[in-house]
Amino acid sequence: MGDAIVGIVANPLSGRDIRRLVTQASVFPTAEKANMIQRMLTALAAVDVHRVLLSTDLGGISAAVLRALRRRQAMGQAGSVSSPDRWPEVEFLDGQPIRQTAQDTVEAVRRMVTAGARVIVCLGGDGTARVAAGAVGDVPLLALSTGTNNVFPAVREATTAGLAAGLVATGAVQASEVTTRAKLLEARVGDRTETALVDVAVCTERHVASRAVWDPATLTQLFCAFAEPDAIGLSAILGQLSPVSRGEPDGVTARLEAGGTHRVLAPIGPGLVATVGVRDIEPMRPGPAYPVDTAAGVLAVDGERELTFELGDQPTVRLRADGPWCVNITAVMDASARLGLLRRPPAASPSTQHDPRESTA
Q: Which residues bind another protein (CB under 8 A)?
A: 12-13, 16-18, 20-22, 24, 27, 29-31, 58-61, 63-64, 100, 205-211, 215-218, 274, 296, 308, 310-311
Question: How many beta carbons lie within 10 A of that of residue 98, not counting itself?
Answer: 17
Closest separation in Å from C-beta 118 to another protein = 30
Nearer to another protein, 296 or 321 (CB): 296
How do strand 179-181 and strand 325-327 relate by DSSP bridges? antiparallel
Q: Are 161 and 47 in contact (CB under 8 A)?
A: no
Nearer to another protein, 60 or 260 (CB): 60
Closest separation in Å from C-beta 29 to another protein = 5
Nearer to another protein, 63 or 75 (CB): 63
Taking the C-alpha atoms of residue 10 and residue 106, their distance in angstroms, rounded to an integer, is: 11
Q: Are 212 and 304 in contact (CB under 8 A)?
A: yes
Nearer to another protein, 22 or 115 (CB): 22
Closest separation in Å from C-beta 123 to another protein = 15
Nearer to another protein, 113 or 208 (CB): 208
Dihedral sign (CA 324, 330, 332, 338): negative
Question: How many beta carbons lie within 10 A of that of residue 136, not counting itself?
Answer: 24
Closest separation in Å from C-beta 21 to another protein = 4
Closest separation in Å from C-beta 58 to another protein = 6
Closest separation in Å from C-beta 294 to another protein = 13
Closest separation in Å from C-beta 296 to another protein = 7
Query: Edge to edge, what strands does the sheet with 119-124 contain?
Result: 89-93, 51-55, 5-10, 119-124, 141-145, 325-327, 179-181
Listing DSSP states for 266-314 in one string gives EEEETTEEEEEEEEEEEEE-BSSEEEP--SSEEEEETTEEEEEE-TT--
Question: In which element (H, E) is residue 74 found?
Answer: helix 61-77
Measured N-to-C along each axis, helices 158-169 and 30-46 cross at an angle, to the nearest 10 degrees, of 40
Nearer to another protein, 19 or 51 (CB): 19
Nearer to another protein, 242 or 294 (CB): 294
Using CA atoms, how far residue 249 sits from 21, 34, 228, 322, in Å, is: 37, 37, 14, 11
Taking the C-alpha atoms of residue 273 and residue 81, their distance in angstroms, rounded to an integer, is: 52
How do strand 325-327 and strand 316-320 relate by DSSP bridges? unpaired
Nearer to another protein, 30 or 170 (CB): 30
Closest separation in Å from C-beta 189 to another protein = 12
